[in-house]
Structure 1
Amino acid sequence: MERERRLLWTAITGLAMVGYLLVPDSPALNGWLVTGYKTVFGCVAGGALVAGALTRRPRAMTGWLIFGVGIIANALGALVSDVYSKALGQAGYPNIADLFWLTLYPSLFLGLAVLIRARGTARDWASMVDALILASGLGLLSWVFLMVPVRSDHTLHTVGQVIVLAYPVGDIMVLVMLLHLVLSGGVRNASFWLVCASMGLFLAGDLSWATLSQLSLVTPDLVSRLLDLVFLLAYTTFAFAAWHPTVGALSRRGTVKPPRLSLPQLALLTAATMIAPTVLAFQVASGAVTNGVAIVIGSVASFGLVVARMTQLVRQVERQADELTALARRDPLTGLANRRAWFDDLPDALARSARSGEPVTVAMLDLDHFKAYNDGRGHQAGDQLLKGAASAWSGELRAVDHLARYGGEEFIVFLPGAGADRASEAIERLRAVTPNDQTFSAGLAVWDGLETSDELIGRADRALYAAKANGRNRTEVSGVEKAGRASSDRA
């Protein structure tokens, strides 16, 4: 039913736009019928947009209402212009109608800002920098070929020049926000693409009118109406975006994309940064550099933005490198340091112990009968035991102690400032909190101040095997300080 309704309204609006081409421009009516037709069309489309937002009630509804206000004001501009010039007989351009036409730009800008904020991508600085790079290049073209001729037009007073210049400035502002929306993350559904299409139509229509104006071309009535149709289509497309079933999902919060660069993005950014030197080369070839200051500003802006973009990419690479380093040193199951991290950190810890003169003990722990536990209860239960033991043991150790997963069901702990007795007491605390009534065997080795880290671990490993050979669920101490210590048998 929803699809049939959309097809019906598409057909109706299509016929209405074709009807605009057929409206007679009778001299007797002095163009009022044509003006009235497109004004009513635009106001109905703007009203439909507002009605769609109020009916669908998306999260960014304020933005949609702002869009509607801008479209209705823009549509009324033609009627106000005719009333001012034809009914009141006031000559001169620009006039009060420009206030209505210009309302479209801040409305589109603010509406897009609200939508981007609702999508959670307002802080996507990478897409914002990309948008500014593209807009700075296009802005330079707009300045050289559209704005400078207006500033040189002495038939316009200062206020008139400001009003006329406001149109290309507004286009650039809207373009920045549109590019930010397109390049950032978030949902891209039918409503999203309808919004983008409507914005693109508005910008294309403005560019066409500005180009014809600068070339001082007299536009036939048919060409003028075809250009009007571009704006009427933009109004209609926005209304369809507001009524589309996907409009609610459009403002759903999305994930900010990492500041990567795709090949199409890189090509666009490269083209944008080449605009300034291309304009300079064009003016040098023509025999005079008339926009040197603007070209310098455009070049500096593009270069600065490219440096900012590259800085983002470098920082992203550094963050990813740090994350990979952390992952390489972390056991994915238990969250403890892994064997690699242990072997990296132990030599430094022994060097600190040698300087301080404090004792250092290494203990190796092995869960008893873990294979039988794993086979009897399943691998998932075995994984839960490993994670539970790691968590429980970590809570009983000091902040200076260093627990790591050595491999399989084996763990190793470094106990600085602890001799054989204190280390054995610490191991017994771990034994008491081991989950699921499981037991473990442990081997301790106190550093003699001379042996390497590998030799120290080797002694602790031999003590562990001695504990297992002597009945498990006990702690054995290696070397001259050996003092077998059996705990209460819970096996």
Structure 2
Amino acid sequence: MEKQAGVDHGPARSTSTASWGSELFARALAWRLLLPIGLILTASYVVLPHGLLTSTLYVLLTAGAALAAGLAALHRPRPFAAGGWGLIAIALALAAIGHGIWYWLDLQGLEPFPSAADIFYLLVYPLFVVALWRLGDRNVRADGAFVDALIIGISAAVLAWALLIAPYAYDPSLSWLQLLVSAGYPVADLILLPLVLRLLFLHRAHLTAHVFLLLGMLAYLTADLLYAHGNATGWYAPGGLTDAGWLIAYTLIVAAVWHPSAQIEPQVRTSAADVSGRRLLVLGAAVVLVPMIILFTAGDDMETIRVAAIASILMFVLVLYRMAGMLRESHRQAHRLEHLSRTDPLTGAGNRRQLEEQLSREIARAERTQGSLNVALLDLDRFKRFNDTHGHSAGDALLQEIVHAWRPNLRPTDVLTRFGGEESVLISPHIDTQQCDQLLQRLRAVVPYGQTFSAGIASFHAGDTPDDLLGRADRALYAAKSSGRARNVIADDHAAPSSNSEN
């Protein structure tokens, strides 16, 4: 039975692998076909005269984009954050319904504002917001990328107020509902913009799928802003390049979700202290834009000046917050580097640099306070034989496990360092040689795999240097090795071994 199961299971795996490979090929082929098809149909929409044919084409293209995005979110292998892509598909479906209502009203010669189409259009934005947040990693803490995006978003908000929102706000012919809907689109775009930028700033390596998505979102925002400005100034007409901007956005979004890189979870994220020169340039331009708006567009419009002043204060607070975050991150990295510079990479114990610094510090303290200080030099017994028998990887693992087993038995004031190879140095202040001898016996009792170590203990005397202490401990270690191993020897004039017996 077991043999038969084994025989059957192998082909199943092969079939699964082949199926996965074919699905991956289908994704790679799909985006290469969907992108040019969408762009060609968009160009056809612009070239053809506006009427029933182009209106139908527009609605079908949007509905097709929604269907294609939804299928890609469900198609295996599924993309990373498939739920986010699914929300984008639902948003495109709502946009298709809105387009259908709007074109039907347009072909009937009706121009109600607001209309039922606006309900579906405005519902698109919260879905986009949630989707972009999920695609950008919801669990990032101290998100400097989002703070940078907010700075740019606030700057854009001032510009949008001066050029798009204020004209509606001061138009007495608009009802409160018309004013709310008119301002709703640019406000929604301004909420969306920081999330688009956050996704751009968040990762060092940009996936092709994310690049397509970002371009699609930017095309969507551009079409929105052109439509708002065209409506405010009277130059907008259906069937032109502004409408094509939304179709381009849908096409790019579909290419993004079908691209094979959409399955990859981004791993390399920018840190809070990571700010590229390009991003600094963009942030600088965003900060300078606000006073420029005051200088060149506000005039005696106190409302715009107030909005710009509030925005300037918010950006200043965000810049301070960003700088504080960068300083915290720099301090954490400096602390980590400092720790790594004093740590043995294999065992996690201190390295030679920490030994030298800590031993000099403890000697100075002992000289000043006339306190006790002991240094023990430990060496694993027959470590070469262990390596020859079990391999060098097992030897490295043994050294790691020994340090892990010793740590709970050490006092907070004890400092364990790796001296080299299988040798370690233990610095033990505030205890005498007998207490240090007992401490080493406790360490010997927890060495794994029945291994043992020999140790030499040297006690500090006035005038000793680090080399003096280590030299006496080394001679005592040699005596421990010579007298049978697995024991401690306290260095003195006679270098007599202690009364420990082998484990």
TM-score of the alignment, normalized to the shorter chain, above 0.5: yes
Aligned alpha-carbon RMSD (Å)? 3.6
Is 1:197 the counterpart of 2:210 in the alignment? no
Displacement after TM superposition at 1:213 (Å): 3.0
Question: What's 2:181 paired with?
Answer: 163
Is 1:151 the counterpart of 2:176 in the alignment? no
Tell me the SS of whatever aligns to 1:291.
Answer: helix
Alignment check: 8 A CA contact 1:124 1:184 kept = no
Q: Distance in 2 between matches of 1:15 and 1:453?
A: 79
* Identical positions, percent: 33
Question: Which of 25, 45, 49 is residue 20 of structure 1 equivalent to?
Answer: 45
Displacement after TM superposition at 1:262 (Å): 0.7
Is 1:271 the counterpart of 2:292 in the alignment? no
Is 1:65 the counterpart of 2:86 in the alignment? yes
Aligned length: 476
1:200-215 equivalences in 2 (<5 Å): 200-215=218-233
Displacement after TM superposition at 1:311 (Å): 1.3
Question: What's 1:309 paired with?
Answer: 322
Is 1:140 the counterpart of 2:165 in the alignment? no
Alignment check: 8 A CA contact 2:39 2:251 kept = no
Distance 1:242 1:359, change over 3 A: closer
Question: What's 1:109 paired with?
Answer: 129
Deviations along 1:80-115, one digit per CA (max 9) or x if unpaired, are 23555665x765433332222222222211221232
Is 1:36 the counterpart of 2:56 in the alignment? yes
Distance 1:10 1:394, change over 3 A: closer
Tell me the SS of whatever aligns to 2:136.
Answer: helix
Question: Which of 70, 75, 89 is residue 55 of structure 1 equivalent to?
Answer: 75
Structure 1 counterpart of 2:70, one-letter code: V
Q: Distance in 2 between matches of 1:245 and 1:80?
A: 34
Displacement after TM superposition at 1:358 (Å): 7.1
Question: What's 2:491 paired with?
Answer: 478
Unpaired stretches in structure 1, ≥5 consecutive residues = 26-30
Displacement after TM superposition at 1:308 (Å): 1.4
Question: What's 1:28 paired with?
Answer: none
Question: What's 1:239 paired with?
Answer: 254
Question: Which of 295, 303, 318 is residue 308 of structure 2 equivalent to?
Answer: 295
Deviations along 1:195-215, one digit per CA (max 9) or x if unpaired, are 222112111211222333343
Q: Which shifted more, 417-426 or 274-283?
A: 417-426
Q: Distance in 1 between matches of 2:65 and 2:502?
A: 83
Displacement after TM superposition at 1:128 (Å): 0.5
Q: Distance in 2 between matches of 1:12 and 1:361?
A: 79
Q: How does the TM-score come out when normalised to structure 2?
A: 0.81
Tell me the SS of whatever aligns to 1:103.
Answer: helix
Deviations along 1:24-54, one digit per CA (max 9) or x if unpaired, are 44xxxxx444433322222222222223323
Question: Which of 314, 331, 352 is residue 344 of structure 2 equivalent to?
Answer: 331
Question: What's 2:455 paired with?
Answer: 442
Distance 1:342 1:139, change over 3 A: same
Q: Distance in 2 between matches of 1:61 and 1:383?
A: 42
Tell me the SS of whatever aligns to 1:485.
Answer: coil
Question: What's 2:7 paired with?
Answer: none
Q: Distance in 2 between matches of 1:375 and 1:68?
A: 61
Displacement after TM superposition at 1:352 (Å): 7.2
Distance 1:107 1:186, change over 3 A: farther
1:404-419 equivalences in 2 (<5 Å): 404-419=417-432
Tell me the SS of whatever aligns to 1:366.
Answer: strand
Q: Distance in 1 between matches of 2:54 and 2:488?
A: 97
Tell me the SS of whatever aligns to 2:284.
Answer: helix
Structure 1 counterpart of 2:251, one-letter code: T
Q: Distance in 2 between matches of 1:274 and 1:396?
A: 60
Structure 2 counterpart of 1:231, one-letter code: W
Distance 1:160 1:313, change over 3 A: same
Distance 1:441 1:168, change over 3 A: same
Q: Which shifted more, 91-100 or 36-45?
A: 91-100
Question: What's 2:358 paired with?
Answer: 345
